[in-house]
Amino acid sequence: MKLTPESKVVIQGYCEPLMATHAARMKVYGTNVIAAISPGQSGETFDEIPVFDLVEQAVAEFGVIDTTIILVSPYQALDAALEAIAAGIRQIIIIPAGVPPLDMVHLLRKAEATETLVVGPNSPGIIVPGKILLGTHASEFYTPGSVGIVSRSSTLTYEIASELTKAGLGQSIGVSIGSDAITGSSFLQWLQILDEDDSTQAIVLVGETGGNSEETAARYIAETIDKPVIAYIAGRNAPPGKHWGHTGTLAAVVGRGVNIGTTQSKLTAFKEAKVPVADRPSQISSLVKKALK
C-alpha cells in the first residue's frame, strides 16, 4: 500500500458531472493529483491538472503512477481499470455505483494476476486523515489519529468517523471496500493491512446485514489479528432481503444454509471471535477507549 502525500495519483473520467468538485477537494486535501484522463481532451488543464487521452501517456510524462481514481460511468469502469493495469498502475479505486458484477469478476481475474489492489466499486475510496484523500470521503468528519475504520458503506463511515472525532479519537485511515456483492478488496485484506500499519492502534469494522463477509472477517480476527477490533452492524432490524440498494446478499444460494447473511449470524460470529459489537455508532468510541486501556 502506498498512501503517502507524495504518491502519484491520476483521475480517470475527470469530466464526468460533479467530478470537478471531487478532484478539487482531493487536491486541496493534499493529494498529489498529477493528471486527469479524459479521451479527446488532452492538452487542456482543469484546476492546473493536465489532461491526457490515455493513462499510458500520463505514465510516459510522469513515470510510474501509484493510484488511479476511477470516476467514469459504471459500464465504463471495467475498461478504465483494465487500461490502468495495462499502464502499470497497481492501486485502483472505483467510485461509481452500478458496475455489473460480472465486470468485476473479469477485473478481479486480471487484478489478482498482476497483484493489483482494487477498492470498490460503489465506494468513497480511502482517506488518511490529514494526509491524503483518494476518493469522495467527506473529509470534514475525519481527524488524524490512530483508529482505522474499514467499512462497506459511505455515509455510515462518515457517521462513525464523526462520532470518533467528537470523542477525541482521531483516525489513521478510513476505507470503504464498497457495498456491492463483488468488491475488489475484502475485509480480510484490510484487516491484514491495518494490523501491520504502525499508525493504527485499534480497528473499527463497520458491517451490514447481507452477504457473509462479516462472518469471514470475524473468524479471521480471532485467528490472526493482534490489535483490538470493534464491530458495528447496520440493518439489525431490517426485514430479510431488504437492503436499500446494497447488494451484498448474493451468497444466499443453495447449500450455504438458511441463516447466511442475517445479522444474527454476524453477531454470533463476532461473539465467538470475542469482538465487541457496538449497539449504535455513538457507542463505538467508548468501546475503542476500553479496548485501548
Between the alpha carbon of residue 223 and those of residues 116, 139, 192, the distances in Å are 25, 33, 11
- Among the listed residues 8, 27, 227, 243, the single contact to other proteins using CB under 8 A: 243
Cβ proximity to other proteins, 86 vs 260, nearer residue: 260
Q: Which residues contact 281 (CB under 8 A, 6 or more apart)?
A: 156, 159, 160, 163, 232
Binding of residue 153 to other proteins (CB under 8 A)? yes
Could you give the angle at which helices 213-224 and 263-272 cross, rounded to 10 degrees? 0
With CA atoms as reference, report the closest residue to 186 among 210, 216, 221, 224: 216
Binding of residue 90 to other proteins (CB under 8 A)? no
Question: From the CB of 232, what's the least distance to other proteins, in Å?
Answer: 8
Binding of residue 40 to other proteins (CB under 8 A)? no
CA-only gyration radius of the chain, Å: 19
The single residue listed with the C-alpha cell 503512477 is 65
Number of Cβ within a 10 Å radius of residue 51: 21
- Among the listed residues 30, 102, 168, 259, the single contact to other proteins using CB under 8 A: 102
Binding of residue 28 to other proteins (CB under 8 A)? no
Question: From the CB of 57, what's the least distance to other proteins, in Å?
Answer: 24
Binding of residue 136 to other proteins (CB under 8 A)? yes
- Among the listed residues 43, 223, 226, 280, the single contact to other proteins using CB under 8 A: 280
**199 — phi, psi (to 5°)?**
-85, -5
As beta bridge partners, residue 204 has 149, 230
Binding of residue 286 to other proteins (CB under 8 A)? no
Of the ranges 1-9, 29-37, 204-212, 220-228, which one interacts with other proteins (CB under 8 A)? 204-212
Do residues 101 and 91 lie in contact, with contact meaning Cβ atoms separated by under 8 Å? no
Rounded Cα distance, 232 and 201, in Å: 18
Cβ proximity to other proteins, 8 vs 27, nearer residue: 27
Written as nine digits, the cell of 172 is 489513521
Cβ proximity to other proteins, 162 vs 268, nearer residue: 162
Binding of residue 31 to other proteins (CB under 8 A)? no
Per-residue x/- track, 58-77, other proteins (CB under 8 A): --------------xxxx--
Binding residues for other proteins (CB under 8 A)? 16-19, 21-22, 72-75, 95-102, 104-105, 108-109, 136, 138, 140-141, 151-159, 162-163, 179, 181-182, 206, 208-209, 211-213, 216, 234-239, 242-251, 253-255, 279-282
